[in-house]
Amino acid sequence: MGAAKVIQGGVLVAVVAGGLAQSAADASGVAVMGVSTQTVDNSAGAASAKNVEVRTGDFWMKNSGSAPCTTASIGDNIYVEDDTTVAISGTLVAGKCIGFHPVDGRVRVRVGM
């Protein structure tokens, strides 16, 4: 995990150059590895002082307000907008769109598989 970083639980986690984990944000990471299982606070620590556990699988994420995924996105790569939101475009792949919540519009994303 990167120096002086906090990763909240339940967010997309990316690996950046040098192999360190951080919360995913568009264009910040080399690859999304999964979703964090708990909050890890390394705000006072050096690089690699703490580790974050991530899980892969299917997760509900918020849909972008500015570049939303649609039913046409199902089966396609979708992208990180921030560590809890996905979009139809971007530079860092979050995973595959596999569905939508019928009530609140969240996106079901297959992450790290």
The per-residue pLDDT for range 48-80, each reduced to its tens digit, is 999 999 999 999 999 999 999 999 999 999 999
Give dist(CA 22, CA 2) in Å, integer.
6
Number of neighbours of residue 34 by Cβ within 10 angstroms: 21
pTM of the predicted model as reported, rounded to 2 decimal places: 0.92
Locate the DSSP E strands across 1-113: 5-7, 12-15, 21-23, 31-36, 40-42, 54-55, 57-63, 77-82, 85-87, 93-100, 107-111
Statement to judge: residues 79 and 34 lie in one domain: no
Give how far the C-alpha of residue 99 lies from the chain's centroid of Cα atoms, to the nearest Å. 17
List, for residues 1-10, the tens digit of each pLDDT value: 989 999 999 9
Looking at the 3D structure of the chain, how many domains does it have?
2
Q: What residues make up the domain containing 30?
A: 5-55
